[in-house]
Chain A
C-alpha cells in the first residue's frame, strides 16, 4: 500500500493499482512502489536519501534531488499541472533522461531526479513524486530475469545416454519380435499339434484358435512383451537413487564443520538438490565481491585533508563496510563528520568545527574510475579532491610535485594489493578563481544539457582532474572475506577461470553493472563456451546472475537475503567456495558419475537378452518375477546408494593440497561418452559370460528353468556387487555392511522365495550340486578379468591425477621421510 494523491488528498492505494502520472507520497523507511520523478521532499533543499540495495546491492545512501521548480509546491494545496516526457521503459537502472514542462518552463530531468521501484527512503521524512514507470515497466521489474530451472550437466548427459539406450531397446525389441515372427512362420503348420504350443482349442466342441490372433498381431504382442521384459535395461530407478544420493551428499555438505561460519553461526545451505555434482565441474567462476572498491559505492564522499597527507575524512552515512572503515579511520585521526546537507558539510577537525561548501561533484564513472568533489573552504579557497583506483589516479597525479611520496605510495599500494587489501588513492588540487569560474560555467552548461549530458560532464571532469598532488592511499582489509586471496589462489590452481565483476583486475567489467548485465555476461559465457559456470554473490543485484549460472552460490552476508534466496547453495564465507568446489564438488561429481555408469551396467546386465535364443523368441524369463522386482529394490539398491554417498576417492587434505585434482571434473574424466561405451562393452562381455557359462555347463542336462533362474540371479548379484567392490576406494564398515549385506540379503531372499510352495523353487536341490557352485563362483571372477586387466594396465601406464594422489596418500609417510632425509643431506 502506498499513498497516492486522489482528489487533493493522499489516500492508500495498492501498488498494483498505481498508474503512470499519479502523484505518490512515500514516507521514511518505506519502499518506493514505482519509478517516480521527485517533486518535493521534507528537506527544504529538495534532497531525498535513498538506499538502492534491492536494486544494485549497494547499501550506502544515495541522494536524489527534486527540481527547484517543484520543490516548494505542496501537492495537496497547489494545483500542479505539467507534462513529463521521458524514455520508453528500459532496463538501465543508472540512466534516465527526460524533461518536465511546468508553468510554461521546460526543466531537464536526469538520473538524479528519479527514484526507482524497490529503493527505500532513508533519513527523509517524506518525498513526493510522479509515477513515470509502473508495474512491469519499472526498471526493477525489467531487470528481473526470472528463475530458470536447473539440471545438472551430468544428468543432461545421462539423459542423452538413456535416449541412446532407449533407442537400442526399441531396436532390440523390433529384432526380437521379428525373429519371433519368423519362428512362428516357419512352424506355421505345426502349431496346432505342438504339445508346447497347441494353437487349437477343442474344448468348446468346435475347433478354434486359442490365444492366437494371426501372425501380425502375434508379432506385435511379442514386441510389447519384449518391451516389458527388457525395460529393466533403462535404469529408471537411477533417478530415484540419484535423488537419494544427492540428499546424502547435501547432508554431508551441510554438516561439514569446515564450511561452518562461526562468526554468523550459519551452516552451509543446500537450496537446490539437483546440481550437487555440477560443483565438481566448474570451469568459470564469476563473483561479485562485497562492493569491491569504496569509490564505487560512494556517491557523495567528501574527502578532506589537513597538514598530514595520510589522513582524510569521509562521509559518515556510508553503510558499507568499506565506507565505515574509512570513516572510522578518519575519525580515529580526529576528523569527524558532524553535519551534512546538500550544500555544505561540517567537520570537527581535532575539536574545531569547520564548515565547507560543496560546490560541485563529479560522480564515479567506469571510464575515469574515480570521483571528485569541489569544496569551498571557509576562507574562500576552493579545492578539488579526487579519489579513485590506483591505476587511473597515477595518470592524473603530478609526480613532479613530490616524487618521494609518490614512489613510497606506489610501493605501499603494491604490498597492500598483494596481500589482498583493497586500495584507493586520494589526490587534491587547489583551484584558482579563474579556474573555478571556468569549471563552474562549463559544469552548469553540461549538467543542464539534454543530449549527451554524461559525456559532457565527463569531459568537464577530465579537464578538472589533473595535476593533482598526491595526498595518500587507503587500504581496506575486508574482514568479511577472510581467506579470500588464498581461496582465489586455490581456485586458480584448480584451473577455474575467474571473472571478477566488481574488482580492479577485471578488464572490461566494472562494479556498476546492472543485474541483467551480470546475467548477460553469464549467459554469454554459457553460450559461447561449453564451460560450466558458477556465479557467487551476496547482493540483490546478483540475483539474475545467480539464477542464470549453472551453479548459483549465495553468500549469506550483510547485504540482505535476496542472493541467498535465489541461490542453489548458500554459505557464510566466500572462502568456503574452496572446500565446496575442490572437496565436496569433486566428491559429488566422482560419486555421481560413477553411480550413473554403474547403474547402466547393473541394469543392463540383469536383462540377459540372449535367453530369447533358446525360448523360440517367446520372452520367457528364467528368473522369477519376484527376483526381477527385488533386484533393483533389495538385491543391488543399497550398495550403490551408500557408495554414492560415502565413498571418497581422495582425502580432503589431498584435494586441498593439490587443487589441480579438480581438473578431473572439468575434463569430464569420470563420465563421458567414451566411458559410457566402454562400460557398455564391458557389460556386454559380462552378460555373455553370465549367460553362456551356465548354458554350456548345463547343456543337455536335466536342469529346469527355475534352477537356471536362481543360478543367474545369484551369479548376477555376486557380479554387480563384486564389480562395485572392485571400485570402492574407502572401505568403511558401512561400505562393507552394504555390499556383503546385499549378497547375504539376496541369498536369504532367494531361499525364502523358493520356500514358497506354489512357486517353482529350486535352490535347495541346486545348492547341493558341485556344478552350481563352480558356476556361481566362477562367473563373477571370470567376468571381471578384462575389466581388472584394463584397469590395472591404465593405472600403470596412464595413471590419472587421482590415482597418483591416492598412491601418494597411501605412501606419503615413507615418501616424506626419504624427501626430508635428502634435504638434510643437502645441508
Chain B
C-alpha cells in the first residue's frame, strides 16, 4: 500500500506550536510604484493624498470674527447706498377718478367718452440728481399668475407671423380668424397710462429710449416683426401698438413682457435727464387709461434716483449688519466657552470604550 501523504511534524507538548502561532500581520511588502500606477493604487486603496481640516477653537472663532469683519462694512455700505437714494411715490388711481364716478370706478374706466386726463403735483423734498428714473408701480397685479405667464409665444415675438404654433396664447391667439401679433394675455394687457412732466412752465425732458434690456431688444424681439391684428377684439385689455414700429423697438412692450416676480412691482417708464432741486414742484400730466379698478389693484407713479445697489431698500444693509454683529457675538461666546471649559483635542482616552475603562 502506498503512503504518499504529506507528513507534518507536530510537537504535542506545545513547544513547537507556540513558535507557529498565528501571524496576523500578513503584510504585503508595499511595492514601490511610480506615476500613474501609483495614483491608481492610491485610488483603489483609498489613500489619495488629502487635506483633512479639523476645525479647532481658533479656527471657529477666527471664522466668525472674519464674517463679522466682512459683513458689517458691507452692510454699512449697502445701507448708505440705500439712504442716498431719494424717491417720490404718488398713488393716483383713486384721486384721478372724477367725484361723480367715485362709487363706480369700473364704469368710468370702461367708458370711452370720459376724459382720462389728470394732473398731479409732486413736491421735491430733497434734491435729486439726474438721471431720475420714472417707474409706474402696480400693486395686487399678479403678473406671475400661472395662467398669465404661460399666455405668450416667445417664438412669435422673435419670428412674427411666420410662426403659427401659438396655442399657448389662447384665447388671444386669433381674432376674427386672423393671428394676433403679439399674441397672448401678457401683450394684450399692456399697460397704457402715459405721463409727461413739467417744472414751472417748462416741460421736463424725458428719455423714453433704452428703457428695455439691450439683450431683449437684440435677441428676443424680432426686428422685422410688426404688430398685427392687435387689440382688435371686442374686449380691450390695455395699450395699442403702432403697427409701423417693429417689436424690437416697442420698448414699453418689451419692458411689460418681462413679467414681474411679485404682485407688487415697478416697471421703468423713462428717465428725467435733469436734476430736481429741493422745493421744486413737478406737475405730472397723466392719462389714466389702465383698468386696475376691476380687481382692486393700485397704480402709483415713482420718481427715484439710483445707486450702485439699485433703488431705495435698506433691508440688505440692515440684514448684513445684523448678521455681522451676530457673528462677532457668537465668536465671543465660543471664546468664553473655550476659556471657561476647555477640552483637550484629539485625546483618545475620551473615546467611549476607553472612558469605561477609566471609570472601572
How many residue pairs link A and B with beta carbons under 8 A? The number is 320
Q: Establish whether residues A809 and B189, one from each chain, have CB atoms under 8 Å apart when the complex forms.
A: no
Q: Establish whether residues B295 and A732, one from each chain, have CB atoms under 8 Å apart when the complex forms.
A: no
B259 contact from A193, A486, A704, Cβ within 8 A: A704
> Given that A202-B233, A483-B24 are known contacts, is A732 also in contact with B50, CB under 8 Å in the complex?
yes
> Given that A660-B354, A707-B261, A796-B343 are known contacts, is A620 also in contact with B146, CB under 8 Å in the complex?
yes
Provide the bound-state CA to CA distance between A13 and B21, in Å. 53
Is A262 in contact with chain B by the CB < 8 A criterion? yes
Provide the bound-state CA to CA distance between A485 and B334, in Å. 46
Q: Establish whether residues B350 and A799, one from each chain, have CB atoms under 8 Å apart when the complex forms.
A: yes
Interface residues in A766-796 (C-beta closer than 8 Å to B): 769-771, 774-775, 778, 781-782, 785, 788-789, 792-793, 795-796
Contact with A along B254-294 (1 / 0, CB 8 A): 00001111111111100000000000000000000001001
Of all chain A residues, which has the CB nearest B28? Answer: A257
Is B330 in contact with chain A by the CB < 8 A criterion? yes
Is A811 in contact with chain B by the CB < 8 A criterion? yes
Q: Establish whether residues A419 and B22, one from each chain, have CB atoms under 8 Å apart when the complex forms.
A: yes
Nearest Cβ distance between residue B322 and chain A, in whole angstroms? 10
Nearest Cβ distance between residue A439 and chain B, in whole angstroms? 30
Q: Establish whether residues A196 and B261, one from each chain, have CB atoms under 8 Å apart when the complex forms.
A: no
Q: Establish whether residues B57 and A618, one from each chain, have CB atoms under 8 Å apart when the complex forms.
A: no
Q: Establish whether residues B266 and A702, one from each chain, have CB atoms under 8 Å apart when the complex forms.
A: yes
Provide the bound-state CA to CA distance between A571 and B123, in Å. 87
Nearest Cβ distance between residue A312 and chain B, in whole angstroms? 9
Q: Establish whether residues B147 and A757, one from each chain, have CB atoms under 8 Å apart when the complex forms.
A: no
Chain B residues in 8 Å Cβ range of A495:
353
Q: Establish whether residues A615 and B145, one from each chain, have CB atoms under 8 Å apart when the complex forms.
A: yes
> Given that A196-B185, A701-B310, A808-B346 are known contacts, is A796 also in contact with B337, CB under 8 Å in the complex?
yes
B147 contact from A197, A701, A729, Cβ within 8 A: A197
Is A412 in contact with chain B by the CB < 8 A criterion? yes
Is A9 in contact with chain B by the CB < 8 A criterion? no
Interface residues in B49-65 (C-beta closer than 8 Å to A): 49-55, 57, 60, 63
Of all chain A residues, which has the CB nearest B322? Answer: A782
Q: Establish whether residues B330 and A789, one from each chain, have CB atoms under 8 Å apart when the complex forms.
A: yes
Q: Establish whether residues A729 and B20, one from each chain, have CB atoms under 8 Å apart when the complex forms.
A: no
Q: Establish whether residues A658 and B348, one from each chain, have CB atoms under 8 Å apart when the complex forms.
A: yes
Q: Establish whether residues B352 and A699, one from each chain, have CB atoms under 8 Å apart when the complex forms.
A: no
Q: Establish whether residues B261 and A705, one from each chain, have CB atoms under 8 Å apart when the complex forms.
A: yes
Provide the bound-state CA to CA distance between A336 and B4, in Å. 12
Q: Establish whether residues B185 and A195, one from each chain, have CB atoms under 8 Å apart when the complex forms.
A: yes
Q: Establish whether residues B313 and A701, one from each chain, have CB atoms under 8 Å apart when the complex forms.
A: yes
Interface residues in B289-345 (C-beta closer than 8 Å to A): 291, 294-296, 308-311, 313, 315-316, 319-320, 323, 326-327, 330, 334, 337-338, 341, 343, 345
Interface residues in B200-252 (C-beta closer than 8 Å to A): 213, 215, 219-220, 233-235, 237-238
Is A76 in contact with chain B by the CB < 8 A criterion? no
Is A633 in contact with chain B by the CB < 8 A criterion? no
Q: Establish whether residues B291 and A195, one from each chain, have CB atoms under 8 Å apart when the complex forms.
A: yes
Of all chain A residues, which has the CB nearest B54? Answer: A810
Q: Establish whether residues B353 and A660, one from each chain, have CB atoms under 8 Å apart when the complex forms.
A: yes
Provide the bound-state CA to CA distance between A600 and B13, in Å. 63
The interface-forming segment of A109-117, A323-331, A377-385, A738-746 is: A323-331
Interface residues in A698-743 (C-beta closer than 8 Å to B): 698-708, 729-735
Chain A residues in 8 Å Cβ range of B172:
203
Of all chain A residues, which has the CB nearest B137? Answer: A700
The interface-forming segment of A150-158, A237-245, A470-478 is: A470-478
A325 contact from B8, B142, B341, Cβ within 8 A: B8
> Given that A477-B21, A698-B261, A770-B308 are known contacts, is A201 also in contact with B171, CB under 8 Å in the complex?
yes
Of all chain B residues, which has the CB nearest A781? Answer: B67
Chain A residues in 8 Å Cβ range of B267:
702
The interface-forming segment of B40-48, B92-100, B124-132 is: B40-48
Chain A residues in 8 Å Cβ range of B310:
701, 769-771
Chain A residues in 8 Å Cβ range of B149:
620, 705
Provide the bound-state CA to CA distance between A472 and B12, in Å. 9
B352 contact from A421, A477, A663, A735, Cβ within 8 A: A663
Provide the bound-state CA to CA distance between A758 and B22, in Å. 73
Provide the bound-state CA to CA distance between A568 and B294, in Å. 70
Q: Establish whether residues B319 and A693, one from each chain, have CB atoms under 8 Å apart when the complex forms.
A: yes
Of all chain B residues, which has the CB nearest A578? Answer: B24
Is B135 in contact with chain A by the CB < 8 A criterion? yes
Provide the bound-state CA to CA distance between A442 and B351, in Å. 63
> Given that A195-B291, A477-B22, A810-B52 are known contacts, is A799 also in contact with B28, CB under 8 Å in the complex?
no
Most chain B CB atoms below 10 A, which of A196, A198, A310, A474: A196
Q: Establish whether residues A210 and B185, one from each chain, have CB atoms under 8 Å apart when the complex forms.
A: no
Is A416 in contact with chain B by the CB < 8 A criterion? yes
Chain B residues in 8 Å Cβ range of A620:
144-146, 149
Of all chain B residues, which has the CB nearest A312? Answer: B12
Is B253 in contact with chain A by the CB < 8 A criterion? no
Is B1 in contact with chain A by the CB < 8 A criterion? yes
> Given that A196-B189, A198-B185, A815-B346 are known contacts, is A792 also in contact with B60, CB under 8 Å in the complex?
yes
Is B148 in contact with chain A by the CB < 8 A criterion? yes
B57 contact from A697, A796, A799, Cβ within 8 A: A796
B346 contact from A256, A695, A771, A804, Cβ within 8 A: A804
Provide the bound-state CA to CA distance between A809 and B351, in Å. 13
> Given that A331-B5, A332-B10, A792-B334 are known contacts, is A695 also in contact with B54, CB under 8 Å in the complex?
no
> Given that A731-B52, A765-B215, A806-B52 are known contacts, is A758 also in contact with B7, CB under 8 Å in the complex?
no
Interface residues in A802-825 (C-beta closer than 8 Å to B): 804-812, 815
Contact with B along A526-545 (1 / 0, CB 8 A): 00000000000000000000
Q: Establish whether residues B50 and A731, one from each chain, have CB atoms under 8 Å apart when the complex forms.
A: yes
Nearest Cβ distance between residue A585 and chain B, in whole angstroms? 14
Is A696 in contact with chain B by the CB < 8 A criterion? yes
Interface residues in A678-702 (C-beta closer than 8 Å to B): 693, 695-702
Is B90 in contact with chain A by the CB < 8 A criterion? no
Q: Establish whether residues B13 and A310, one from each chain, have CB atoms under 8 Å apart when the complex forms.
A: yes
Is B113 in contact with chain A by the CB < 8 A criterion? no
Is A619 in contact with chain B by the CB < 8 A criterion? yes
Nearest Cβ distance between residue A576 and chain B, in whole angstroms? 10
Is A420 in contact with chain B by the CB < 8 A criterion? yes
Chain B residues in 8 Å Cβ range of A89:
none
Provide the bound-state CA to CA distance between A776 and B235, in Å. 43
Is A484 in contact with chain B by the CB < 8 A criterion? yes
Q: Establish whether residues A195 and B238, one from each chain, have CB atoms under 8 Å apart when the complex forms.
A: yes
A616 contact from B53, B145, B259, Cβ within 8 A: B145
Provide the bound-state CA to CA distance between A708 and B149, in Å. 14
Provide the bound-state CA to CA distance between A131 and B236, in Å. 96
Provide the bound-state CA to CA distance between A761 and B214, in Å. 12
Is A614 in contact with chain B by the CB < 8 A criterion? yes
Chain B residues in 8 Å Cβ range of A195:
141, 148, 185, 188-189, 237-238, 291
Chain B residues in 8 Å Cβ range of A699:
262, 264, 313, 315
Chain A residues in 8 Å Cβ range of B106:
193
Chain B residues in 8 Å Cβ range of A311:
12
Nearest Cβ distance between residue A627 and chain B, in whole angstroms? 15
> Given that A697-B316, A764-B215 are known contacts, is A203 also in contact with B261, CB under 8 Å in the complex?
no
9 contacts between A and B (CB under 8 A): A193-B295, A198-B188, A202-B235, A419-B22, A769-B310, A770-B310, A781-B67, A809-B346, A815-B346
Known: A310-B13, A477-B21, A660-B351. 15 other contacts (CB 8 A): A195-B291, A197-B147, A198-B185, A202-B171, A203-B171, A203-B172, A328-B10, A339-B1, A412-B14, A486-B22, A702-B268, A769-B310, A801-B351, A810-B346, A812-B346
The 9 residue pairs across chains A and B that have the minimum distance between CB atoms? A807-B346, A660-B353, A195-B189, A483-B24, A193-B294, A201-B171, A618-B146, A196-B148, A808-B346
Chain A residues with CB under 8 Å of chain B are: 187, 190, 193-198, 200-203, 210-211, 225, 251-252, 255-257, 262, 310-311, 325, 328-329, 331-332, 336, 338-339, 412, 415-416, 419-421, 472-475, 477, 481-487, 493, 495, 575, 614-616, 618-620, 622, 646, 648, 652, 658-661, 663, 693, 695-708, 729-735, 757-762, 764-765, 769-771, 774-775, 778, 781-782, 785, 788-789, 792-793, 795-797, 799, 801, 804-812, 815
